[in-house]
Structure formats: structure tokens, C-alpha cells
């Protein structure tokens, strides 16, 4: 019997594996370590491997589809575009078994032709493992993002030292991640509550609007959104995309995985040594969600608003001249408290009543 089995070698499984030194851990991956089609921007300080950094940025730019723009500049490079495969591969230290998990239950993980026993099972299988979690009785993150993205030639107005978030396309928004002076990645997201028909966004219109030349590859990926409340069941825990661990406003997930992984690793070690119970992580998780409930509720509610209202609110943020540090703190925040410093503070009436109301309801749902 192993101490730990990790299912999935994306960032959550790989990072967790790197933190479980001293334990007998195996990692099961059906494809390759870090093979998901991801081009992620994250905080530079969380990426310790030079070769996993594609590009660094010292500013973030918010733009709306009708031409408004605000640049939040920092004194140094704060963000980077990562090479996901290299990031994950650099982290893994345990033996990797190549295979697809078809089922798990407390103490046992089943592959096509073998069963592996372990004291603790960690499901880090992302969106690909949703059927496993349904069979095991876990809830799925409530929303699915349908993303379409491509590589395009850069244009003059795009500053390669900044990455861009776009408000006003599809029902969610989009991004521009410069790769170098000549190329960028550009994508759009549509958000859907589970159960509805999922449509990938049409990005042709956006491509024309921004003046990008058609990219060489157009990719489509699904991605879960929305925190799952129950993440521990017996000696099984779900982590990363599996638990919907993503920033409610910016969608950035890697740094949330980075923040929670040491807490989970610590509890796993105690559980294996018989000094604690895995359920302690459930308590930490619920506590974190409660403390983060304002941020999470505001994020969920904003993206539920009609597109023209989202654009109006993005422009309001620009007019208020919110400080770059506040934006940075808001992007980083999970359960931390942060002050939103604005040169022209907003009035309550600047925001639609429906937003206040939805935020209140969403907050109650998260807290309960």
C-alpha cells in the first residue's frame, strides 16, 4: 500500500507531489505531465523555474470592446506567461504511472488492468476526471467555461510588456497574452451553467475588431468555474480545477493552487503519519471560502450581468482610477483582506441594484 496516490499530472497534481517529500507517492497520468492545452499568465513569484517562463509582464491592461482602456503599471515584472508542460514536469518527483483511472473508492484506485492501494487519494484530474468524481459522489463546479483561443501576429497597439483582459465579448470576456514582439495569444470565453448547451465563442469578429491576422491554430478547451464546497470524503480529497479553484473575477487559477497546496500537503502528511485527519483540510477549505465570500460573490455576480452593464462597470473602474497595487491585491486575494484604493471612490448607486442583490444572495449561498 502506498501513502498517497495523486490522479492527474497538471499543475495541481505536480505541485502537490513536489510538496510530499518523505512520503511514498505515485502519480497517475493518462496522457503526459502538464499536457493540457493551457497558456496561463500567473504571478512571476510563484514560478521558480526559468525554463518554464515564456514571457514576463510589468503591466496589466483592461480594455472594453468599444475602445476604452486602462493600464495598470508596476515597478517591475510581476506576471509571466508559463510553459505549462515545463512548469509541471519540473515539479514532479515521484514515480509516474501512465494510465487512465476509471474508478476510485476509499483506499483504492482502479486502472484498466490494475488496482493501486493508498492511504490517501488525491483527485487532481481537472475537467477530464469529472465522471470519476460524479461516481465517487462529489459535486462538480457549477459553471463550465468554453474557451477558444489562437496564436496571431501582433499589431502595433499591443504593448508586449503588458497582458490584456477584454470585457464585452461572448458572455464572459477574453484575453491577449503577448508571446514576443511578433506574436500573441488571443482568446475568448463563454460561460454556461451546467445542464445547458455549451457553445464555444466565435472569435472572428473580435479578431477583425482588434486587427489581428488569422492565427495558425485555433484551439477549443473546456474549463470549470465555481468552488465546490465538499472537497473531502473519507480519505479522498479533490484539488485544483476538480474543486473549481479559480479566481472569481480574473479566472487566474495557478496562484490559488500554489496558495492552497502547502496547506493540503501538510494535512496529508499528518494523516499518513496518523497525527491528523484529512477532514481538517475540509475545515480549512470551508473557512477559506467563507472568508473569501465577498470577493467570490462579487465575481460570480458581475459575470452574470448583461454585457453592456459589464462594459459600463469596466469603464467605471477606469474612471475611478483604482491604484495598480489594489488591482494586484485583488488578483492575488483569496481569503486575504485588501483595500481597494480609488482616486475617485465610487458611490453605491454607481452599481446596479441587481448586482448588490445578486452579490448578497451569492454570499449567503457561499457562507451556508
Ligand X SMILES: Cc1cc2nc3c(=O)[nH]c(=O)nc-3n(C[C@H](O)[C@H](O)[C@H](O)COP(=O)(O)OP(=O)(O)OC[C@H]3O[C@@H](n4cnc5c(N)ncnc54)[C@H](O)[C@@H]3O)c2cc1C
- Interaction site with ligand X (CB under 6 A): 7-13, 28-31, 35-36, 38-42, 100-101, 124-126, 128-129, 132, 147, 149, 221, 223, 240-241, 246, 252-254
**Residue 306 CB partners (closer than 8 Å, separation 6+):** none
- Output the residue with the shortest Cβ distance to ligand X: 10
Q: Find residue 28's DSSP bridge partners.
A: 7, 97
Q: How far is the CB of 303 from ligand X (least distance, A)?
A: 15
User: Cell match 462597470: residue?
Assistant: 313
Q: How far is the CB of 133 from ligand X (least distance, A)?
A: 10
**Residue 31 CB partners (closer than 8 Å, separation 6+):** none
Q: How far is the CB of 23 from ligand X (least distance, A)?
A: 19
d(CA 332, CA 82): 17
98 vs 273, beta carbon nearer ligand X: 98
Q: How far is the CB of 7 from ligand X (least distance, A)?
A: 5
Strands 41-43 and 2-7: unpaired
Q: How far is the CB of 147 from ligand X (least distance, A)?
A: 5
| Coil/strand/helix, residue 301 | helix
147 vs 272, beta carbon nearer ligand X: 147
- What burial letters (b/e) apply to 307-318, b meaning 16+ CB within 10 Å? beebbbbbbebb
255 vs 269, beta carbon nearer ligand X: 255
147 vs 311, beta carbon nearer ligand X: 147
Helix H or strand E segment including 17: helix 11-18
d(CA 253, CA 250): 9
112 vs 275, beta carbon nearer ligand X: 112
d(CA 254, CA 248): 13
DSSP for 325-337 reads: HHHHHHHH-SS--
CA distances (Å), origin 34, targets 30, 53, 88, 293: 11, 14, 5, 30
239 vs 351, beta carbon nearer ligand X: 239
252 vs 340, beta carbon nearer ligand X: 252
Q: How far is the CB of 116 from ligand X (least distance, A)?
A: 12
Amino acid at each position: 500500500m502506498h501513502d498517497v496516490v495523486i490522479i492527474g499530472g497538471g499543475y495541481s497534481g505536480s505541485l502537490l507531489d513536489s510538496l510530499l517529500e518523505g512520503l511514498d507517492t505515485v502519480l497517475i497520468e493518462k496522457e503526459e505531465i502538464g499536457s493540457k492545452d493551457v497558456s496561463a499568465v500567473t504571478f512571476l513569484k510563484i514560478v521558480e523555474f526559468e525554463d518554464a517562463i515564456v514571457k514576463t509582464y510589468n503591466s496589466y491592461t483592461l480594455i472594453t470592446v468599444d475602445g476604452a482602456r486602462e493600464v495598470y503599471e508596476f515597478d517591475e515584472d510581476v506576471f509571466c506567461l508559463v510553459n505549462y508542460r515545463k512548469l509541471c514536469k519540473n515539479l514532479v518527483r515521484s514515480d509516474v504511472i501512465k494510465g487512465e483511472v476509471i474508478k476510485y473508492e476509499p483506499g483504492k484506485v482502479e486502472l484498466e488492468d490494475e488496482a493501486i492501494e493508498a492511504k490517501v487519494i488525491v483527485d487532481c484530474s481537472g475537467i477530464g476526471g469529472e465522471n470519476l468524481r460524479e461516481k465517487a459522489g462529489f459535486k462538480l463546479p457549477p459553471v463550465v467555461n468554453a474557451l477558444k483561443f489562437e496564436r496571431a501576429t501582433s499589431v502595433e497597439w499591443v504593448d508586449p510588456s503588458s497582458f490584456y483582459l477584454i470585457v464585452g465579448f461572448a458572455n464572459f470576456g477574453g484575453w491577449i497574452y503577448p508571446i514576443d514582439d511578433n506574436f500573441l495569444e488571443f482568446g475568448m470565453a463563454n460561460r454556461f451553467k451546467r445542464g445547458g448547451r455549451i457553445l464555444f465563442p466565435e472569435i472572428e469578429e473580435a479578431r477583425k475588431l482588434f486587427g489581428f491576422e488569422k492565427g495558425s491554430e485555433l484551439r477549443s478547451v473546456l474549463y470549470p468555474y465555481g468552488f465546490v464546497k465538499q472537497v473531502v470524503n473519507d480519505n479522498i480529497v479533490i484539488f485544483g480545477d476538480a474543486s473549481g479553484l479559480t479566481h472569481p473575477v480574473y479566472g487566474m487559477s495557478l496562484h490559488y493552487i500554489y496558495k492552497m497546496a502547502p496547506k493540503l500537503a501538510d494535512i496529508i502528511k499528518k494523516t499518513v503519519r496518523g497525527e491528523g485527519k484529512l477532514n481538517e483540510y475540509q475545515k480549512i477549505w470551508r473557512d477559506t471560502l467563507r472568508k473569501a465570500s465577498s470577493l467570490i460573490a462579487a465575481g460570480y455576480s458581475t459575470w452574470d450581468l448583461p454585457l453592456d452593464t459589464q462594459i459600463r462597470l469596466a469603464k467605471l473602474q477606469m474612471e475611478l482610477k483604482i491604484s495598480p497595487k489594489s488591482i494586484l491585491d485583488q488578483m492575488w486575494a483569496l481569503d486575504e483582506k485588501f483595500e481597494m484604493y480609488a482616486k475617485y471612490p465610487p458611490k453605491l448607486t454607481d452599481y446596479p441594484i441587481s448586482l448588490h442583490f445578486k452579490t448578497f444572495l451569492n454570499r449567503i449561498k457561499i457562507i451556508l
